Amino acid sequence: MTILEYPVHVHDLNVKDPYILADPVSEKYYLYANKFKCGVTPKDRKGTGNTFYAMESVDLVHWSNPILVFEQNDFWASEDYTAPEVHYYKEKYYLISSFSAPGKLRRCQALVADNPLGPFVPFGKPLTPPAWQCMDGTLYVDREGAPWLVFAHDWVQVFDGQICAIRLADDLSEPVSDPIILFRGSEAPWGDDFVYSTDEGGGAARAPWVHRMKDGGLVILWTNCTPYGYAVGIAKSLSDEIYGPWQQYDKPVYALDGAHASLFRRFGDGMLMMPLHHIGRDGPGIRTIIEEVEEYNGLIEIVNEFTGNWWESIGGHPIAYRGQGPCKDEPTFSKLENYGGMFARRRRVTKWAMAPETKFKKGKIATRD
Amino acid sequence: MEYPIHVHEIGTSDPHILADKVTNKYYMTSSGFSIRGSFGFGRRPGTIVAMVSEDLIHWSEPVTIFDCNGTDFWGQQGYPATEMHYINGKYYLSGTAGTPGYTRKSMILVADNPLGPYTWLTNEPYSPPGWQTIDTTLYVDRSGHPWIVYSHEWYQVSDGQMVAQPLSDDLSRTIGGPMILFRASEAVWGDDQIWSKTDGGGVTDGCWMHRMQNGTLIMLWTTRSRLGYAMGYAKSISGEVWGPWTQMERPLYAHDGGHSMLFRRLDDNQLMMSMHVADRGPKMLTIFEMEEKGDDLHIINEITGNWYHTVGGNALPYKKDVPCTDEPAFTRLGLSGFEALKAEGISIRKPVRKPVKKAAAAQTKEKEESKEEIESKAE
């Protein structure tokens, strides 16, 4: 395998529906998209342009030029190729995306490869039910090891968009169960009006991402429209299983016109990272941002935005606070310190922090030592 | 009977499908079929036609089921949105009819089998004289008494009305005056009634009564939102037709489609909804799979794919240039939520708090056991 150079800075990323695979084998990061507008795309591209590319990075800051990982060739689909996700499952890499052709409904399907830079080859059958217009498929492996496809049933077909799940064969080649509807766009209290929205409306449920928390809880991050643009919300399974029932939280995780979130753990300290894109309306257009997040109180909460790309592209309420031009700060990983006092229960701390002694509080501070 | 017409070819306005358990077939009536580029396909003036199917996908050519030419029936013209109902062993055809120079009024015809020929019970309209009505449906209440429910046109009364009248048990006449159930302005999602560029939020179309499995009585109906035709539903607080009626805050479908009705699939009793999409573009037959959750109604999927090149409203940018060629397919939903957990034998996680001492003792026991195992293996 050739050694890559990393000339693309994370400030230049403008990928829609970004998905980053933290590859446990090579301990590198891979960003996938159907085409990149940043970096130097290889000129020898053939075929109809129905392709997937990947970028590689070792530090999340410097990225390689796009590398072709899949081309249509004989594959049936000639349209869409949206929101690719690559999952490392049973020692192979599966790329799941949604595909369609003129007159055909959009369906999710898996491609397979032996290494994260491909080449990927078509594999198995479409995974979503026939006669359903679907998008944004993601893989979820339950506690017994059974794989599920969690996907969005398009609001264009059913008006009130659905987040659905279907059980897959162990090799991800075909669905083996009837689909189940987990929840609908209308269940989020923060969604926009369905009819009089200036955008797509509160039924546009999409981009599910299933995450098993360290405390055993099961949550889904998903995207919907608010009156101020896109927002990522969170639903929690009351049974900690994919069957639900699913409860929506009245506060979205992120509501500054950002969409299509997924999660991965960064190498080193294992902090959860959440890549998503800003729409950047009336401004720079699509920008890729990566949030550092933590599990808190059974939900996902944001720690910091890592790349600085929010600076010029932020939307929603704080659109007036947008910076001029790109942010010049170097991206830096946050390191949260454990701290004590009444918040000690929040993380499992081994030592209580010592509060500074003052003459007013002297003798009243309870410390362990 | 042959079924040469595929559901992808059926353009229609105000479709109504009777799932007839006696003959085990589906019968579709409407305001007119537009098939293979011919509007009013298979229909002569002064007649009502129906199409027949066994699987909802393949349909017969239109069959004439009522012909008023040469009769002295009061309504000689234009039969929009006719509906077939099976009540007490007879087939009833409800709808509206007009005579030149007179207002459009509601009618009920009767026959012994679904394809007729239909004839009138009494040669008189059912709705009051001087009322311009449209879209007549029948409803049998919980004590077995039939009602006629129709729409009072917005262009006569400005704010359109849904109206009900009680019928005699043989459906031959009305036995009470009209009762206004609600007006179009009660739906918050309707368009402005004055400043609208189209018909506006005063339209009341496509009334359909449905008793849900938990006993709630709902009425599907259609009005106009700013972005096109939109359909929603109202719930009766008393569980009967006299209401009072409360409107749902958001419509059930507003991608420029409407005039809906519900029926149950013959083979597996799945709840289905038919309507036309779009109202502004090519009006195509669409058939939705539905589910009831508590006393709410939800869409599962649209089976025909006819929304693909017609969809409007907010979703207009996603409209495709070519019709869908995927074969229609029925959905069967798997169990979810508590039902699935029960079937899988999964108990919901509860926080279990073991007494600290016991837990510690158990841990030491385990450790000892594992030590013993290691020792035994070493030996």
CB-facing half-sphere around the CA of A328: CA atoms within 13 A? 2
Whether residues A104 and B329 touch (CB distance < 8 A) is answered with: no
User: Closest-CA residue in chain B for A245?
Assistant: B337
A2 part of a folded domain: no
- Cα–Cα distance for residue pair A337/A350, rounded to 1 Å: 12
- Would you state the structure tokens that stand for residue A215, as one six-digit string? 């405390």
A1 part of a folded domain: no
Where do the H-state alpha helices sit in B223-288?
A: none
Whether residues B298 and A196 touch (CB distance < 8 A) is answered with: no
pLDDT greater than 90 at residue A320: no
- Cα–Cα distance for residue pair A1/A117, rounded to 1 Å: 10
Q: Report the residue from B299, B322, B337 with minimal CB separation from A158.
A: B299
Residues A352 and A311 in one domain: no
| pLDDT at res. B210 | 96
- Cα–Cα distance for residue pair B248/B236, rounded to 1 Å: 11
B156 phi/psi in degrees, rounded to 5: -100, -35
- Residue B192, chain A, CB below 8 Å: the answer is no
A304 part of a folded domain: yes
User: Closest-CA residue in chain B for A106?
Assistant: B326
Residues A278 and A353 in one domain: no
Find out whether B138 and B87 touch, Cβ atoms under 8 Å: yes
pLDDT greater than 70 at residue A358: no
For position A185, which CATH number holds? 2.115.10.20
Superfamily of domain B5-340: Glycosyl hydrolase domain; family 43 (2.115.10.20)
| pLDDT at res. A269 | 86
CA angle A127, A131, A134 (to 5 degrees): 55
pLDDT greater than 90 at residue B221: yes
What average pLDDT does this structure show over B155-159?
A: 93
A40 part of a folded domain: yes
Residues A170 and A70 in one domain: yes
Whether residues A243 and B341 touch (CB distance < 8 A) is answered with: yes
Window B:217-236, CB contacts with A under 8 Å:
225-227, 230
ipTM metric: 0.84
Q: Report the residue from A102, A156, A195 with minimal CB separation from B318.
A: A156
User: Closest-CA residue in chain B for A198?
Assistant: B314
A103 part of a folded domain: yes
Computed over every residue of chain A, the mean pLDDT equals 86
A41 part of a folded domain: yes
| pLDDT at res. A368 | 47
Q: Report the residue from B300, B334, B338 with minimal CB separation from A177.
A: B334
Q: pLDDT category, A362, cuts 50, 70, 90?
A: very low
B93 to chain A nearest CA, in Å?
A: 30
* Lowest mean pLDDT, pick from A12-16, B39-43, B111-115, B248-252: B39-43
Look up the pTM and report it: 0.87
A213 part of a folded domain: yes
Domain count of the fold of chain A: 2
Q: Which residues contact A216 (CB under 8 A, 6 or more apart)?
A: A240, B349
**Mutation test of the interface with chain A: which of B273, B304, B322, B336, choosing the one with the most A Cβ atoms within 10 A?**
B336
Residues A63 and A101 in one domain: yes
What average pLDDT does this structure show over A43-62?
A: 78
- Cα–Cα distance for residue pair A167/B364, rounded to 1 Å: 41
**By residue range, what is the domain housing residue A186?**
8-336
Place of tokens 């972005």: B227
Window B:294-313, CB contacts with A under 8 Å:
298-303, 305, 307-308, 311, 313
Q: Report the residue from A179, A196, A245 with minimal CB separation from B331.
A: A179
The amino acid at A1: M
A3 part of a folded domain: no
Find out whether B20 and B86 touch, Cβ atoms under 8 Å: yes
Find out whether A260 and A18 touch, Cβ atoms under 8 Å: yes
A128 phi/psi in degrees, rounded to 5: -95, 160
Find out whether B188 and B247 touch, Cβ atoms under 8 Å: yes
Residues A160 and A52 in one domain: yes
Residues A369 and A303 in one domain: no
Residues A272 and A357 in one domain: no
| pLDDT at res. B354 | 58
Q: pLDDT category, B194, cuts 50, 70, 90?
A: confident
- Where are chain B's structural domains? 5-340, 343-378
Other beta carbons within 10 Å of B330: 19
**Mutation test of the interface with chain B: which of A143, A243, A246, choosing the one with the most B Cβ atoms within 10 A?**
A243
Other beta carbons within 10 Å of B23: 14
Residues A260 and A363 in one domain: no
Cα–Cα distances (Å) from A203 to A225, B264, B289, in that order, read 8, 26, 17
Find out whether B225 and B238 touch, Cβ atoms under 8 Å: no
* Lowest mean pLDDT, pick from A37-46, B39-48, B291-300: A37-46
Computed over every residue of chain B, the mean pLDDT equals 90
